[in-house]
Amino acid sequence: MLTRRNMLLSTAALAASGSLVARAEDRPALSHSATVPESSGPFPPGEPGVHYTPVVTPNSTTLPHRLEGGVKIFHLVAEEISDHEFAPGLRCKVWGYNGRSPGPTIESVEGDRVRIFVTNKLPEVTTIHWHGILLPCGMDGVGAITQPSIQPGETFKYEFTLRQHGTQMYHPHADEMIQIAMGMTGMFVIHPRQPDPASQPRVDRDFAMMLHEWHITPGASRPDPLEMTDFNVLTFNGKSFPATAPLVVKTGDRVRIRFGNLGPMDHHPIHLHGYHFQVTGTDAGTIPLTARVPQTTALVPVGATRAIEFVADAPGDWVLHCHMTHHMMNQMGHGFTNTLGMDASGVDARLAPVIPGYMTMGQTGMADMAEMRMPLPENSISMRGGDAAFGYTDMGGMFTLLKVRDELETYDKDPGWYRHPAGTVASPATAEELAMLGAPPPTTKPAAATTQAALYTCPMHEEIVQRGPGKCPKCKMALEPKK
């Protein structure tokens, strides 16, 4: 029934819908949004130091290019890398580009025309997908869908104009499960040609960090690309701590760190100590100023990039790491019995005649494992640990250091451990301070020999140390009590 009330409601609804339509038409399109139109240009090739601060890829490098007729020409070679070192003591055959895993960083400028040759030296077909880059469909690099696959021994040419800026990546879109898991990833950084000074200020240090996870069975010479959950080697740019190179900056520098994650499976919450930062970019470009919030941890999902920025105004050695606790460890096994809190008194001595060198582990936690230097299978590394400023740290895996210094000889040299000003380092409480707290005086920790077998070492290989007698795994000589 048509009533005055219904007519008024209908009129209001029509007016509202018309307003919504009008507003929708006024909105800018959000899909396929390039910042440089297809028809613009040609632009002169972007130059380092003029249009951008060159990116630093710790433990890796930037892919060189040459100019031909205003086009930047690059060459990538997909190949097996026969001797990739994750950390001292752990080397494997992996797959990557130009002798590296991850591949070298490709760096250019918005508006540049790029021509990238890709040679396939793998034993199977491959392609390259330019992850997050806006380009013609036939250059997208999906095998058999947008192009023929690149057969072993073939070289293909990709050519397109860079119509956006941001932190992108490259990887195969052929047998992704194997090829990406085996290390075929890389960063592709596109700098803005005319950056907005407010939202894109020039930085002094610009770092690129590719995150990756692997499963390497102790003693194996290749990662297992079929693993889906139990990853035991976590890397920044193909390295696990303590092999990760530090990020060296000077006090007052404006710093950008770009993170890329192509998996295979896990997201990584990357945490920086000592600073608050803003996430300023993704693989789709710059985040508007109004959308930024201060953070200390940036979640980098699988298949995504994140760029963070801050001013390095606090000198020191500041930790940068994934906050997944198992991702701060090196090769670890998960098939052991939980002995935490177990009374293992006498167990080692009773088992020693049957299993020479046996030692119950984990009943008081795992921190001591870092310093025991127990024998390991060939081509494997300790679960955690590395020498540090105040002793032996139990950190490892996806872990590195931001080293901020008031004075630097050069950005290209590790400045060593930070020298803390007097009175600025945490230290044990004195007896007087404990008395004020009503706490008992400090006690010394019982010697390990009272609960566990004595340390034995090889007379020929001093690095071989274990609790209890046995034979050296290298020379088979009988171990002697460690002096």
Same domain, 365 and 237: no
Average pLDDT, stretch 215-227? 90
Q: Is residue 54 part of a domain?
A: no
Report CA-CA distances (Å) from 425 to 83, 268, 318, 355, 381.
41, 30, 14, 44, 31
Average pLDDT, stretch 458-469? 70
**How sure is the predictor about 341, in pLDDT bands with cuts at 50, 70 and 90?**
low
Average pLDDT, stretch 30-38? 63
Same domain, 220 and 129: no
Residue 456: the pLDDT is: 74
Residue 22: the pLDDT is: 41
Residue 305: the pLDDT is: 98
Same domain, 211 and 268: yes
Task: Name the percent of the chain lying above pLDDT 70.
Answer: 79
Q: Which residues contact 90 (CB under 8 A, 6 or more apart)?
A: 216, 233, 240, 330, 331, 379, 380, 381
Same domain, 362 and 461: yes
**Other CB atoms closer than 10 Å to residue 297's CB: what's the count?**
13
Q: Helix, strand or coil for residue 392? A: strand
User: Does the structure show a pLDDT above 90 at 336?
Assistant: no
User: Does the structure show a pLDDT above 70 at 383?
Assistant: no
Element (DSSP H or E) covering residue 22 = helix 4-26
**Which tokens sit at 363?**
């009943």
Average pLDDT, stretch 333-350? 65
Total domain count for the chain?
Answer: 3
Same domain, 312 and 228: yes
Q: What is the pLDDT of residues 247-263, one digit of tens each?
A: 999 999 999 999 999 98
The domain boundary residue, chosen from 164, 191, 218:
191
Instruction: Name the pTM for this structure.
Output: 0.80
Residue 70: the pLDDT is: 94
Q: Is residue 405 part of a domain?
A: no
Using CA atoms, how far apart are residues 299 and 305, in angstroms rounded to an integer?
Answer: 9
Q: Are the C-beta atoms of 398 and 86 separated by less than 8 Å?
A: no
> Which string of b and e fits 324-340 if b means at least 16 CB within 10 Å?
beebbbbbbeeeeeeee
Element (DSSP H or E) covering residue 91 = strand 90-97
Residue 407: the pLDDT is: 95
Q: What is the pLDDT of residues 58-91, one digit of tens each?
A: 999 999 999 999 999 999 999 999 999 999 889 9
Residue 55: the pLDDT is: 97
Q: What is the pLDDT of residues 264-294, one digit of tens each?
A: 989 999 999 999 999 999 999 999 999 999 9
Using CA atoms, how far apart are residues 269 and 68, in angstroms rounded to an integer?
Answer: 42
Q: Is residue 1 part of a domain?
A: no
**How sure is the predictor about 125, in pLDDT bands with cuts at 50, 70 and 90?**
very high
Q: Are the C-beta atoms of 171 and 129 separated by less than 8 Å?
A: yes
Same domain, 98 and 139: yes
**How sure is the predictor about 1, in pLDDT bands with cuts at 50, 70 and 90?**
very low
Using CA atoms, how far apart are residues 381 and 358, in angstroms rounded to an integer?
Answer: 19
Q: Is residue 141 part of a domain?
A: yes
Q: What is the pLDDT of residues 128-146, one digit of tens each?
A: 999 999 999 999 999 999 9
Same domain, 223 and 138: no
**How sure is the predictor about 332, in pLDDT bands with cuts at 50, 70 and 90?**
low
Using CA atoms, how far apart are residues 283 and 131, in angstroms rounded to an integer?
Answer: 8
**How sure is the predictor about 440, in pLDDT bands with cuts at 50, 70 and 90?**
confident
Q: Mean pLDDT of all residues in the chain? A: 84
> Which string of b and e fits 84-101 if b means at least 16 CB within 10 Å?
bebbeebebebbbbbebb
Residue 373: the pLDDT is: 54
**How sure is the predictor about 458, in pLDDT bands with cuts at 50, 70 and 90?**
confident
**Which tokens sit at 435?**
């008395």
Same domain, 162 and 80: yes
Residue type, 214: W
Residue 368: the pLDDT is: 55
DSSP 3-state percent helix, strand, coil across the chain (nearest 5): 10, 35, 55
| φ, ψ at 150 (rounded to 5°) | -85, 115
Residue 250: the pLDDT is: 98
CATH number of 212's domain: 2.60.40.420
Q: Is residue 386 part of a domain?
A: no
Q: What is the pLDDT of residues 159-217, one digit of tens each?
A: 999 999 999 999 999 999 999 999 999 999 999 999 999 999 999 999 999 999 999 98
Q: Are the C-beta atoms of 169 and 305 separated by less than 8 Å?
A: yes
The domain boundary residue, chosen from 267, 297, 327:
327
Using CA atoms, how far apart are residues 109 and 165, in angstroms rounded to an integer?
Answer: 7
Same domain, 103 and 223: no
Across 95-109, 164-178, 297-311, 351-365, least confident range: 351-365
How wide is the angle at C-alpha 97 spanned by C-alphas 92 and 99, nearest 5°?
55
Residue 365: the pLDDT is: 53
**How sure is the predictor about 364, in pLDDT bands with cuts at 50, 70 and 90?**
low
**Which tokens sit at 230?**
């139990």
- Bridge partner residues of 126 (DSSP): 150
Residue 144: the pLDDT is: 96
Same domain, 281 and 360: no
Q: Which domain holds residue 113?
A: 66-191
Same domain, 268 and 322: yes
Residue 326: the pLDDT is: 81
Q: Helix, strand or coil for residue 326? A: helix
Residue type, 460: M
Q: Which residues contact 134 (CB under 8 A, 6 or more apart)?
A: 32, 34, 163, 164
Average pLDDT, stretch 447-463? 59
Same domain, 480 and 353: yes
Q: Is residue 144 part of a domain?
A: yes
User: Which range, 8-12, 171-175, 332-336, 453-457, has the best average confidence (pLDDT)?
Assistant: 171-175
Q: Are the C-beta atoms of 213 and 231 separated by less than 8 Å?
A: yes
Residue 12: the pLDDT is: 44
The domain boundary residue, chosen from 327, 353, 388:
327
Residue 375: the pLDDT is: 60
Nearest residue to 77 (alpha-carbon basis) of 94, 98, 61, 62: 98
Q: Is residue 7 part of a domain?
A: no
Q: Is residue 385 part of a domain?
A: no
